[in-house]
Each structure stands twice: as structure tokens, then as C-alpha cells.
């Protein structure tokens, strides 16, 4: 690291037991669940697949980052309060697509749905603030949600799918 002029931050850098055998090793030693860590906007968690109990890496959007992005979107919506619904809807479409393009990894769908729902809730709040006699009900607003806010879907393949696509000669022994 010193060769490239890099240093490790003493408070942020530590070794943790993580991976395929971490849960069994920690159970044998009397420790709790394996630790999680934040990296590149995701919380990485040691997990298991339901139908077999095999190890899987679970990634969820870091809660603080998602909250900060939602707060930022709400502030921007307040700034755009007098723009047309179409302009605001197109802007929100771009915001959600960008967010989903990065965070749409296997196991993160619940967080993506939460992000979409909370963005819609902030938008409805702003639409209701535009005048004193607002006629915006949730049922009427659902038309705008369906039109402008894309449904979240997993865009990135599971790591094993990516591996087998790159190395088709490897056997899929399970």
C-alpha cells in the first residue's frame, strides 16, 4: 500500500470473519452471527439460501445512504413545487432509474420498493401543498405513480450466474 502512497484508516480498517464458513466457525466458538460491513453503498451480510442452507452473500442498500438520498429528493421536490406535473414526473423517472441501475442487486428488492414508495409519498405531499383545496387522493395519485415511477426489478445477475457465464466449462456441482 505504501508503494502507491496509500494508508489504511486505523478506525475503519479491521479484520472480520466473513464468508462461506464464517457462520459455522463462529457458532462452534460460541460467538454470534458473522459481522456485517458497508462497502460501495451496500451492507454485506453472510446469508443462507432457503432451500439447502448453502452460503450466499446478501447485499442491502445502506440505510443511512438511502435516507439521505430520500431527504435530498424531498428537498428537490420542494424546490420544484411550481413545475408542471409532467416535468416533475420526468425528473423523478430519471432519479429512480439511476438509483435502480446501481442498487438493483439480488436480495435488495425490498429496499428498492421502499425507495419508490417513499419517493411517491414525498411527491404526493408536495402536490397537496400546491394549493389549499388540494384534490389529490392516494387513489387519484396512483395514476401518476404508474405513469412516471418505474417498478423496481433486479437488473444485476447473481454472482454465480455471472461466474458461469464467464466460465461455461466449470461444472455446476452443488
In this structure, the answer to whether residues 75 and 131 fall within a common structural domain is yes
72 and 46 share one domain: no
Note whether residue 167 is domain-resident: no
Q: Does 118 share its domain with 133?
A: yes
Distance, CA of 40 to CA of 10 (rounded, Å): 19
Of 61, 77, 100, at which residue does a domain stop? Answer: 61
Q: How far apart are CA 7 and CA 1, in angstroms?
A: 6
Task: Tell me, yes or no, whether 44 and 8 share the same domain.
Answer: yes
CA separation for the pair 115, 122 (Å, rounded): 11
Residue 117, all three cell numbers: 414508495
**Model confidence band, residue 121 (pLDDT cutoffs 50, 70, 90):** very high
Give the residue-averaged pLDDT of 18-34.
79
Q: What is the pTM of this model?
A: 0.82
Q: Read off the pLDDT of each residue in 107-129 and give the average, rounded to a whole number.
A: 96
Range of the domain at 42: 2-61
Per-residue model confidence as pLDDT tens digits over 131-166:
888 899 999 999 999 999 999 999 888 767 777 777
For residue 146, what pLDDT is reported? 96
Distances (CA, A) of 87 to 81, 82, 107, 148, 168: 11, 10, 32, 10, 46
Considering the domain architecture, whether residues 43 and 86 belong to the same structural domain is answered as no
Amino acid at each position: 500500500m505504501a508503494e502507491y502512497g496509500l494508508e489504511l484508516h486505523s478506525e475503519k480498517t479491521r479484520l472480520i470473519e466473513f464468508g462461506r464458513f464464517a457462520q459455522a466457525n463462529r457458532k462452534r466458538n460460541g460467538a454470534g452471527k458473522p459481522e456485517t460491513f458497508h462497502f460501495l453503498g451496500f451492507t454485506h451480510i453472510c446469508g443462507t439460501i432457503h432451500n439447502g442452507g448453502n452460503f450466499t452473500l446478501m447485499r442491502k442498500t445502506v440505510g443511512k445512504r438511502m435516507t439521505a438520498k430520500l431527504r435530498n429528493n424531498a428537498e428537490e421536490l420542494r424546490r420544484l413545487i411550481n413545475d408542471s406535473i409532467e416535468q416533475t414526473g420526468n425528473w423523478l423517472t430519471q432519479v429512480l432509474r439511476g438509483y435502480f441501475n446501481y442498487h438493483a442487486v439480488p436480495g435488495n428488492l425490498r429496499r428498492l420498493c421502499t425507495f419508490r414508495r417513499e419517493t411517491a409519498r414525498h411527491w404526493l405531499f408536495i402536490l397537496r401543498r400546491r394549493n389549499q383545496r388540494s384534490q389529490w387522493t392516494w387513489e387519484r395519485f396512483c395514476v401518476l405513480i404508474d405513469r412516471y415511477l418505474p417498478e423496481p426489478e433486479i437488473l444485476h445477475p447473481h454472482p454465480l450466474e455471472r461466474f458461469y457465464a464467464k466460465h461455461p466449462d466449470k461444472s455446476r456441482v452443488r
